[in-house]
């Protein structure tokens, strides 16, 4: 796989899956714009690593749920690189609770970041991509957007929304050779899952056919495939990367 000459934007690229994606796409030759929210130190490390590979990197602080931040991020990215070929909508949060205990804020925050964030970033970039043609958008959904999960009505609704968004946009922009796909990770070892109690992790492990938690690189490899020409006839799809939980 080769991404030489491409520019990729990865939201939430300073840690976890987003960081693995940013480093993987850079290792394949792409220049990288990535957003971060709080940790300047982590984002500096990612930027340095990408630059040490001989690629260019631009780190931008932006909250994807805020349209003003997103507009500025896209503008700064376009000013710096003149184009963006690959968009990876990765930023996401959880605020788990049973519905009967879930606050309106827990619902709104998760929908605002996970679903409206995907709308905001894609909306701000899509005109440029349509003019440019030959682009790839990859949305990080989740298997719970397909299967549902007790305690995650907000999160699974946001991820099911991302899947619907992916398929609809794929139909809108296919004629410009812009491909739009989603990845549905299973249980991946990151800050998001490290905070779960051991008992829950053990319950997941029992359901995973390959008998191990996923690594961020497992998702980054699938993103690289969808970003590259190796997947040039694939659009509107949800690729499940879950070690066999859903089978």
Contact 238, 183 (CB under 8 A): yes
Please give the residues from 97 up to 136 whose contact with ligand NAD meets the rule CB under 6 A. Answer: 113
80, 155, 204, 233: which one is catalytic? 155
| SS (HEC) of 78-128 | HHHHCCCCEEEECCCCCCCECHHHCCHHHHHHHHHHHHHHHHHHHHHHHHH
Please identify which residue in 7, 9, 16, 118 interacts with ligand NAD, judged by CB under 6 A: 16
Shortest Cβ 169–ligand NAD spacing (Å): 17
CB of 178 to ligand NAD, least distance (A): 21
* Positive or negative torsion for Cα 35, 37, 40, 42: negative
Which segment (8-16, 22-30, 95-103, 174-182) binds ligand NAD by CB under 6 A? 8-16
Q: Are 18 and 90 in contact (CB under 8 A)?
A: yes
77 sits near ligand NAD (criterion: CB under 6 A): no
Q: Among residues 36, 81, 107, 119, which is the contact residue for ligand NAD, using CB under 6 A?
A: 36
Q: Which distant-in-sequence residues (6+ apart) come within 8 Å of 12 by Cβ?
A: 18, 34, 35, 36, 37, 64, 90, 91, 92
Sheet bearing 238-241, strands edge to edge: 57-61, 31-36, 7-10, 86-89, 135-140, 178-185, 238-241
Q: Which residue number, 82 or 209, has a Cβ lying nearer to ligand NAD?
A: 209
Q: Tell me the closest approach of the beta carbon of residue 2 to ligand NAD, in angstroms.
A: 25
Our answer to whether residue 155 is catalytic in this structure is: yes
- Counting residues that bind ligand NAD (by CB under 6 A) gives 27
* Residue 93 vs 234, nearer CB to ligand NAD: 93
Is the CB of residue 7 less than 8 Å from the CB of residue 83? Answer: yes
Question: Of residues 182-201, which lie at the interface with ligand NAD (CB under 6 A)?
Answer: 185, 187-188, 190-193
Phi, psi torsion values for 65, nearest 5 degrees: -80, -10
When the beta carbons of 77 and 92 are compared against ligand NAD, the nearer one is 92
Residue from 7, 8, 9, 12 touching ligand NAD (CB under 6 A): that is 12
Distance CA 222, CA 238 (A): 11
The answer to the question of residue 161 lying near ligand NAD (CB under 6 A) is no
User: Which residues sit at the interface with ligand NAD, rule CB under 6 A?
Assistant: 11-12, 14-18, 35-37, 63-65, 90-93, 113, 140, 142, 185, 187-188, 190-193
């Amino acid at each position: 796989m080769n991404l030489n000459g491409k520019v990729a934007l990865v939201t939430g690229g300073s840690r976890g899956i987003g960081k693995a994606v940013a480093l993987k796409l850079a290792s394949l030759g792409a220049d990288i714009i990535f957003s971060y929210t709080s940790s300047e130190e982590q984002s500096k490390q990612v930027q340095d690593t990408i630059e040490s590979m001989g690629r260019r990197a631009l780190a931008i602080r932006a909250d994807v749920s805020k349209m003003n931040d997103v507009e500025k991020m896209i503008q700064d990215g376009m000013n710096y690189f003149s184009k963006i070929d690959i968009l990876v909508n990765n930023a996401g949060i959880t605020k788990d609770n049973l519905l009967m205990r879930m606050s309106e804020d827990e619902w709104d925050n998760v929908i605002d970041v996970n679903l409206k964030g995907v709308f905001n970033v894609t909306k701000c970039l899509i005109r440029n991509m349509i003019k440019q043609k030959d682009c790839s958008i990859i949305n990080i959904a989740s298997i719970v957007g397909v299967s549902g999960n007790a305690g995650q009505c907000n999160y699974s609704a946001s991820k099911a929304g991302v899947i619907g968004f992916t398929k609809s946009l794929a139909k809108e922009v296919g004629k410009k050779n812009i491909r739009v796909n989603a990845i549905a990770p299973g249980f991946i070892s990151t800050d998001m899952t490290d905070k779960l109690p051991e008992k829950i992790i053990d319950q997941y492990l029992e359901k995973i056919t390959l008998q191990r938690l996923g690594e961020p690189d497992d998702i980054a490899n699938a993103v690289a495939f969808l970003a590259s020409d190796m997947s040039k006839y694939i659009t509107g799809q949800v690729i499940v990367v879950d070690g066999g939980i859903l089978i």
